[in-house]
């Protein structure tokens, strides 16, 4: 039941994280190059610059998504008193 109640919060958090990550990546890319970041479908693009852009974009998206997801779970738990996920990591 908690997972079902958390679903709309998770969807909104994912949308917010995507927007925030896109803006953050664009801001960070300005420090790398004054042109737009290269895309894989562009014919004449440096492989090194493409790899850097994709790596940076992936890292930023994963970081922002993880932080926003955790913050939304903390907020949900604060409002409902129930954590929507695993309480502790499984021992290795």
pLDDT tens, position by position, 2-33: 888 999 999 999 999 999 999 999 999 999 99
The pTM for the full model equals 0.84
Total domains, the chain = 1
81 in a structural domain:
no
62 in a structural domain:
yes
Distances from the Cα of 11 to the Cαs of 3, 6, 37, 72, 77, in angstroms? 12, 9, 27, 10, 16
> In the prediction, which pLDDT does 48 show?
95
DSSP string, 15-32: HHHHHHHHHHHHHHHHHH
Q: Which residue has the higher pLDDT, 1 or 81?
A: 81
Q: Which domain holds residue 23?
A: 17-75
> In the prediction, which pLDDT does 90 show?
76
92 in a structural domain:
no
Rounded CA separation 73/79 (Å) = 10
């Amino acid at each position: 039941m908690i997972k079902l109640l958390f679903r709309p919060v998770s969807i909104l958090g994912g949308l917010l994280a995507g927007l925030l990550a896109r803006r953050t990546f664009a801001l960070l890319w300005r420090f790398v190059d004054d042109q737009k970041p290269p895309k894989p479908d562009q014919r004449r693009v440096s492989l090194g610059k493409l790899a850097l852009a994709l790596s940076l974009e992936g890292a930023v998206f994963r970081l922002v998504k993880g932080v926003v997801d955790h913050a939304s779970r903390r907020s949900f738990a604060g409002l409902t008193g129930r954590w929507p996920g695993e309480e502790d990591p499984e021992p290795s």
